[in-house]
Structure 1
Amino acid sequence: MKNVSFIVILFLLGCGQQAPSVEDMASSRDTLQWQGVYHGVFPCPSCDGMDTTIELLPPNHYVIHTVRLGSDPHPYSGTGTFKWDNTGNIIILDRGHIYQVYPEHLYLLDVQFNRITGPDAERYRVDKITSQSQGKIDSPTQ
């Protein structure tokens, strides 16, 4: 009988415990030094690659430069804002690009917030080249 009472007490105590919510879990937004400059060359079906540099600035701003390698002598430069998703691990640029944030790189995601798969999957990544405190890339003139 003592064992049954002990089990019931443990069960009741355990029922009061809640699993950690998404808000309670650590997020990239709160735990990583996400600010800084990232660079990479994304695959491109109509060119030799999209040379991309993104600078993330607090609170939620970015500067982006892209060059279509081998086909377009006119690079694109722009600025804008981004928002974090509910998990605090993904940013959505106001121009529609979606990135998952890791300590030293960003992964470009598809429109359904999934990592791009296939033989070129690792090429959909930009690597951190400087921290925000180490230097900034020039903002484009508008």
Structure 2
Amino acid sequence: MKNVSFIVILLLLGCGQPAPSAEDIATSSRNTLQWQGVYHGVFPCPSCDGMDTTIELTSPNHYIIHTVRLGSDPHPYSGSGTFKWDKTGNIIILDRGHIYQVYPEHLYLLDVQFNRITGPDAERYRVDKVTNQTKVNTHSPSQ
């Protein structure tokens, strides 16, 4: 009887989140989009005028990030590292902890539970892919 109970518990725990199918993996952002490139946007910031953010994603799984706290801190942050894809191939997790959902022309910053941020500023938690015609407005102390 103990073995049957154990098997039932394992089955119930295993059914919580289905594994992605071969079709899901084949159509994931990782496999279908040109995700490599430069993304830019200004995230909301409770203690500043915004977080001017530029992220460059390169293959195999590397990133460079630049952020500037607008209106409060003249010292920009620059860093680099690696990221990993979640099992669906639609979300990347930077080694510094930021989580982004990947779309054809932008990335959405997600919360720690992998959910889109909601509320009146929801669309501001997005960085758009920079094209050759788009110029990134970077802020520096000398400007």
Q: Structure 1 stretches (4+) deviating beyond 4 angstroms?
A: none
Q: Measure, in 2, the Cα distance between the counterparts of 1:113 and 1:22.
A: 20
- 1:23 is displaced (CA, Å) by 3.4
Q: Measure, in 1, the Cα distance between the counterparts of 2:49 and 2:101.
A: 24
> Given that residues 20 and 87 in structure 2 are in contact (C-alpha distance below 8 angstroms), is that contact kept between their aligned partners in structure 1?
no
The one-letter amino acid of 1:101's match is: V
Unaligned stretches of 5+ in structure 2?
Answer: 1-18, 133-143
> Given that residues 40 and 55 in structure 2 are in contact (C-alpha distance below 8 angstroms), is that contact kept between their aligned partners in structure 1?
yes
Q: Measure, in 2, the Cα distance between the counterparts of 1:73 and 1:37.
A: 23
**Residue 68 (structure 1) aligns with:** 69
**Residue 23 (structure 2) aligns with:** 24
Q: Which of structures 1 and 2 has the larger relative contact order (alpha carbons within 8 angstroms, sep 6+)? A: 1
Q: TM-score normalised to the size of structure 2? A: 0.76
Q: Measure, in 1, the Cα distance between the counterparts of 2:45 and 2:20.
A: 39
- 1:81 is displaced (CA, Å) by 0.2
**Residue 9 (structure 2) aligns with:** none
- Higher Rg of the two aligned structures: 1
**Residue 17 (structure 1) aligns with:** none
- 1:24 is displaced (CA, Å) by 2.3
Q: What is the CA RMSD across the aligned residues, in angstroms?
A: 1.4
**Residue 10 (structure 1) aligns with:** none
Sort the Cα spacing of 1:69 and 1:83 in 2 relative to 1 into closer, same or farther, 3 A: same
**Residue 83 (structure 1) aligns with:** 84
Q: Measure, in 2, the Cα distance between the counterparts of 1:123 and 1:63.
A: 20
Q: Measure, in 2, the Cα distance between the counterparts of 1:62 and 1:121.
A: 24
**Residues matched between the structures, number:** 112
Unaligned stretches of 5+ in structure 1?
Answer: 1-19, 132-142
Q: TM-score normalised to the size of structure 1? A: 0.76
Give the share of equivalent positions with the same residue, in percent: 87
